[in-house]
Amino acid sequence: MSDRVGLGWRGELSASILDRLDAIDVLEVIAEDWLHTPRAEQRALRSLAAERPVILHGVALGLASSLPAEGRRLDRMARLVNLVRPLAWSEHLAFVRAGGVEIGHLAAPPRTWATIDGAVANLRRAAAVVGGLPAMENIATLIDPPASSMGEGEWTCAIVRASDSPMLLDLHNLYANALNFDVDPQGLLCAMPLEKVSMVHLSGGRWLYPRDAGPRLLDDHLHDVPDPVFGLLEALAAKAPQPLTVIIERDGDYPEFAVIVRQLERAREALTAGRSRSSPAARQAA
């Protein structure tokens, strides 16, 4: 199997995506966009999966939590996976609700053994209900999670290795967290469980300039992938011999589609460059 490069399916890009499928190896679809749609629309997604491999990407299960994941949400995900038969499915190392409160997005839980144990239990349950483990994505956070007893790399390794989940390594999330919390991005990359990485996200963001504090990088998916993130992809490709599926995420402020296609090409170039300076085993895998 070879490296793949693809794009997050967004409705606003749908016509362009279908017009340029030749440039796209794989599509990633937000699962929650489809969980409540009529069966006919879900079958349209299955038709899309027949054109290109599809990955279902969940954003609302909240698996990295000391709280149990909700059974009804897992059941809905299982039904969609069963219908679409995706190449893989993925979720986040995040919590999204607690104490009866819906946060509305992906939040970093305290990095403790309690959340490690909770995440591993949730992943086992998810695998049993859905029929396979999701690839777990590191998230961007603007706040260093309070009440933590370990760093991001150690916490991530513990969950991914104990659960045997594949990892979806979001390189812009990693880059943003490194810059926001004064860590070397290459060092943080090396602290991740690289042997478990099967998928990669690339995206862009913008700087925030709060009063009375240094700037912070927001991962907003509204900007082009910056050069250092392509550099991290090249470094990853050099270190990780297994095939990688790379997805570019863009959620708005869309440029001409040719610009996005060019970023897909840059991702392929970074993979090729990384493979060329890696071990013979890595080159063979790619």
Partner 1 sequence: MSAQSVEGFLARLYIDRALRDRFFDDPVAVATQAGLDRGEAEAVANLDRVGLELAADSYERKRSAHQRPRPAWVRLLHRLTST
Q: Does 141 bind partner 1 (CB under 8 A)?
A: yes
Map tokens 């990853």 to a residue. Answer: 236
The rounded distance, in Å, linking the Cα atoms of 266 and 271 is 9
Which CB sits closer to partner 1, 2 or 149?
149
205: enclosing H helix or E strand: none
Q: In the complex, what is the shortest distance from the CB of residue 156 to partner 1, in angstroms, rounded to a whole number?
A: 18
Which CB sits closer to partner 1, 146 or 280?
146
Which CB sits closer to partner 1, 64 or 235?
64
The rounded distance, in Å, linking the Cα atoms of 73 and 90 is 14
Q: In the complex, what is the shortest distance from the CB of residue 35 to partner 1, in angstroms, rounded to a whole number?
A: 12
Map tokens 């995420």 to a residue. Answer: 249
Restricted to residues 38-77, the positions that interact with partner 1 (CB under 8 A) are 40-41, 44-45, 47-48, 51, 65-67
3-state SS, one letter per residue, for 94-110: CEEEECCEEEEEEECCC
Restricted to residues 177-196, the positions that interact with partner 1 (CB under 8 A) are 180
| Cβ pair 51, 19 in contact under 8 A | no
Q: Where are the beta strands (DSSP E) in the chain?
A: 4-8, 27-30, 54-57, 88-92, 95-98, 101-107, 135-137, 167-170, 197-202, 206-208, 216-218, 245-248
Give the residue, chosen from 1, 213, 227, 280, that forms a contact with partner 1 under the rule CB under 8 A.
213
Q: Which stretch binds partner 1 (CB under 8 A): 20-28, 78-86, 119-127, 205-213?
A: 205-213
Restricted to residues 75-134, the positions that interact with partner 1 (CB under 8 A) are 95, 97-105, 107, 109-110, 112, 114-115, 118
Q: In the complex, what is the shortest distance from the CB of residue 14 to partner 1, in angstroms, rounded to a whole number?
A: 5
Which CB sits closer to partner 1, 3 or 249?
249
How many CB atoms lie under 10 A from the CB of residue 87?
A: 18
Binding mask 147-166 for partner 1 (x = CB under 8 A): x-------------------
Q: CA nearest 61: which of 106, 26, 19, 25?
A: 106
Q: Does 206 bind partner 1 (CB under 8 A)?
A: no
Which CB sits closer to partner 1, 196 or 221?
221
| Cβ pair 247, 283 in contact under 8 A | no
Q: In the complex, what is the shortest distance from the CB of residue 214 to partner 1, in angstroms, rounded to a whole number?
A: 9
Q: CA nearest 257: which of 65, 81, 19, 68?
A: 19
| Interface with partner 1 (CB under 8 A) | 11-12, 14-15, 18, 33, 37, 40-41, 44-45, 47-48, 51, 65-67, 95, 97-105, 107, 109-110, 112, 114-115, 118, 141-144, 146-147, 180, 208, 210, 212-213, 216, 218
